[in-house]
Amino acid sequence: MPKFLRILVLIILLVFFCMSLIACSNIVNKEENDINTEHSNEATDLESDFKEPESDGADSQQVRVHDFVSPDHTWGVRLYTKTFESRLPGFKVMLLNDEKEEPFQQPIVFDREDLMLADPVVWISKNRVVINGEWIFDQSNNSLTQIAPKLDWIYTYSFSPDKRYLARCEKSDNSSQFGMEIRLFDLEDLSNKTVYFFPGAKVWTSGIFFSIAWTDYQTFVFDGNLDEQPTVFQYSLTSEKVETIRSKAWSPRNFSDSSFLSFIPVANYYTHAEEIIVQDKGSGAEIGIPGEGILYWVDQEHFLLVYRNELSVYRMENDLTYSKKPIKQHSSSTPVLVDRRENNLLIKYLKSEDNYRFSIEEEMIELD
């Protein structure tokens, strides 16, 4: 082969070799760019899936629980459950006038673990209503009044059968007055006085739910601590004296004008109670009923017993015999309101949903 042809062939091969290198470099760069683009898209997708919490967390959800209607059916109070910024459930109330909802002069918002045990809305006359044992609203002059500002926390409260008086159990975190006290309020003039005071850390050994029950128009019972033992006390408005009526027991409960009074017997604060004592107030006779949990009287002869996911209705007879009707409780839900309707019982549950949201479920139970 002539020399110039050999040189030409070498030049052509060299050109093809260089073009191949350039092509390979472009392919590599394209793959790298594709990979980088893919990773960039994945990051964008992840960022779009991540959402910041709602800024208005306190009002992110509210669900109507119940409407309470005045005795003359002309106005009412609406109870909502809502989600606080802490993601815990609470309650707020709104005023109902001519079927229109409007806020009170001051927002009324509260949280209770035992809403079912403490009536959240109670009419004491056709124009006056008590809300959460703390506020009185007078519809005749559209005024909202706080019933003697609470110490730090209201554990529970109970109204006398005629709705004249309110007994309230409160906690104080004040360093000079650390403890729990029972206060009595006259709802006519809003005067009040301390009936009993449990000082210091002894209050914490008395459990989560305290209890107050009126046994007649002038007497109520309550639980507390005496010599490191759970004890039930009695206060008389007539004598203005506190007496010990039962030791090694707590959680006295009853229904207004009922002939029965119930207790939970416990040897000490660390003993697991496995029965409930129901007493005939007239004769003093008693019966022990196997069971445990939170007890709520719905009328003069029926009570609910709530324990974990179990819910049962009991009927008491005058001779202290009883019958039991189990109810299947909704999963992941807590009964928050019980409404007696003729021979039926409407139970409203607060159900926990996903993403810290809540809903209300209802169940109608035939009593007998």
Between the CA of residue 287 and those of 58, 232, 339, what are the distances in Å? 47, 18, 27
**pLDDT exceeds 50 at position 54:** no
Range 31-48 average pLDDT = 36
pLDDT digits 0-9 by tens, 178-191: 778 899 999 999 99
| Residue 41 within any structural domain of the chain | no
Identity of the residue numbered 150? K
**Residue whose tokens read 């496995």:** 274
- Domain count of the fold of the chain: 1
| Residue 180 within any structural domain of the chain | yes
| Residue 240 within any structural domain of the chain | yes
Transcribe 59-106 into DSSP letters.
GS-EEEEEEEE-TTSSEEEEEEEEE-TTS-EEEEEEEEETTEEE--SS
Q: Find the farthest-apart pair of alpha carbons in the chain and give their distance in angstroms, rounded.
A: 137
The percent of residues in the chain predicted with pLDDT above 70, rounded, is: 73
**pLDDT exceeds 60 at position 256:** yes
| Residue 122 within any structural domain of the chain | no
Determine contact, residues 279/285, Cβ cutoff 8 Å.
Answer: yes
Transcribe 263-290 into DSSP letters.
EEE-SSTTS---EEEEEETTT--EEEEE
Range 348-358 average pLDDT = 76
Measure the CA–CA gap between 263 and 311, rounded to whole angstroms.
18
Which range is least confidently modeled, 2-11, 151-160, 236-245, 341-350? 2-11
**pLDDT exceeds 50 at position 113:** yes
pLDDT digits 0-9 by tens, 155-173: 889 999 999 999 999 887 6
**pLDDT exceeds 50 at position 355:** yes
| Residue 361 within any structural domain of the chain | no
Which range is least confidently modeled, 43-47, 252-256, 286-290, 307-311? 43-47
Range 43-71 average pLDDT = 54
pLDDT class of 148 with cuts at 50, 70, 90? confident
| Residue 332 within any structural domain of the chain | no
**pLDDT exceeds 90 at position 308:** no
Which domain, by its residues, includes 196? 147-253
pLDDT class of 351 with cuts at 50, 70, 90? confident
Between the CA of residue 130 and those of 163, 164, 315, what are the distances in Å? 10, 12, 30
The structure's pTM equals 0.77
| Residue 230 within any structural domain of the chain | yes
Range 311-327 average pLDDT = 93
State the CATH number of the domain containing residue 185.
Answer: 2.120.10.30
pLDDT class of 38 with cuts at 50, 70, 90? very low
What is the structure's pLDDT at 176?
A: 62
**pLDDT exceeds 60 at position 215:** yes
What is the structure's pLDDT at 90?
A: 80
| Residue 76 within any structural domain of the chain | no
